[in-house]
Amino acid sequence: MASTVPKVASNSAEYILTLSCPDRAGIVHAVTGFLAEHNLNIKDSQQFGDPTSKRFFMRVHFIPVDTEKTEINLEQLRSSFEKTAESMSMNFELSCVAQKPRVMIMVSKIGHCLNDILFRQSISQLSISVPLIVSNHPDFAPLAKTYNIPFHHLPVTADTKLEQETQILNLVKENNIDLIVLARYMQVLSPGLCSAMSGKIINIHHSFLPSFKGAKPYHQAYDRGVKIIGATAHFVTSDLDEGPIIEQNVVRVDHALSPKELTMEGSNVESNVLATAVKWVTEKRVLLNGHKTVVFN
């Protein structure tokens, strides 16, 4: 007699609920109760109550109880959850796992982070869509072409910054961009652009913040004789290199390395840190907590 294998819901029927609210009793009970009432089954759940900010953070990965059901009406579910959210002053987001975030990558003349993200995306290590690449230099147009991704060369000077950033925002709107990734884009964004895309821009800083901010951090590190160097991925704010930190990593170095060699060592760390940050943010694992983040990795 042939055995039957139970069907497992594909990621088209998998969903993520993230939320934050003032910490209080009954939050988990309210959320899990709501999901049960709507015939939704929790695959995994993570939560954290911050004793300093007095806020509660939660990420829930769920599927329909009926595994024959391939999708749910997300707008209806979102509307139904509003009552629970309002009762507990929740900020929440509901998303479908199968819906790949649309990511605009911005780069200048250093391409290792860009190349790394494009490769990871091409082999499905990153579940993202990259509709376009933007640069203030033309250097990586050939690389974009190999991945069949439109490349937009938008040169910028101090006099044309406002015009150039207006073009960027127009491209964001035209391409329904969910996230901007600065893959060594060596321009300081204006407060206007930072505000317009608040919480939706990730930068890789080639240093272990908060040390060595600004230009040439590896040269600063060399001058201080550091024994470790690193990279920091963070959200972009109008305060230079002060945005909430998402991920960091380091590598040991010694006195024999020149600034150029430190830069080469650091490039691998930068690529890994940025890719990890992009993965966590696009998988809805990063929640803002004031000037910090909660990361459910």
Phi, psi at residue 245, to the nearest 5°? -80, 135
Which two three-digit tokens encode residue 214?
A: 């600004």
Q: What is the pLDDT of residue 8?
A: 39
Residue type, 77: L
**195: exposed, middle or buried (C-beta count within 10 Å: 0-12, 13-18, 19+)?**
exposed
Residues of each domain in the chain carrying CATH 3.30.70.260: 11-96
What's the chain's Rg over C-alpha atoms? 21
Which residue from 148, 186, 152 is spatially nearest to 170, judged by alpha carbons? 152
Instruction: Map tokens 């695959």 to a residue.
Output: 43
Which residue from 66, 14, 10 is spatially nearest to 283, judged by alpha carbons? 14
Tell me how long the chain is: 297
pTM: 0.89
Per-residue pLDDT of the chain (297 residues; tens, 9 = 90+): 333 333 334 567 899 999 999 999 999 999 999 999 999 999 999 999 999 999 999 999 999 998 666 678 999 999 999 999 999 999 999 999 999 999 999 999 999 999 999 999 999 999 999 999 999 999 999 999 999 999 999 999 999 999 999 999 999 999 999 999 999 999 999 999 999 999 999 999 876 655 666 667 777 777 778 788 889 999 999 887 789 999 999 988 888 888 888 888 889 999 999 999 999 999 999 999 999 999 999
For 19-72, write each residue's pLDDT tens digit.
999 999 999 999 999 999 999 999 999 999 999 999 999 999 999 998 666 678
Name the class of domain 102-295.
Answer: alpha beta
N-term to C-term CA, the chain: 43
Which residue from 198, 186, 136 is spatially nearest to 165, judged by alpha carbons? 136
Instruction: Map tokens 């911005």 to a residue.
Output: 106
Q: What is the pLDDT of residue 214?
A: 65
- The residues that are catalytic are 241
Residue 208 CA: distances (Å) to CA of 95, 213, 221: 32, 9, 10
CA angle 173, 174, 178 (to 5 degrees): 50
Where is 279: in which H helix or E strand? helix 259-282
Name the class of domain 11-96.
Answer: alpha beta
- Cα 295 to Cα 19: distance, rounded to the nearest angstrom: 13
144 contacts: CB under 8 Å, gap ≥ 6: 133, 150, 151
Which two three-digit tokens encode residue 266?
A: 């650091």
Residue 114 CA: distances (Å) to CA of 43, 87, 108, 152: 33, 43, 10, 14
Which residue from 46, 75, 122, 102 is spatially nearest to 285, judged by alpha carbons? 46
Which two three-digit tokens encode residue 121?
A: 């995306």
Residues of each domain in the chain carrying CATH 3.40.50.170: 102-295
Beta bridge partners of 181: 105, 202
Which residue from 55, 72, 73, 56 is spatially nearest to 64, judged by alpha carbons? 72
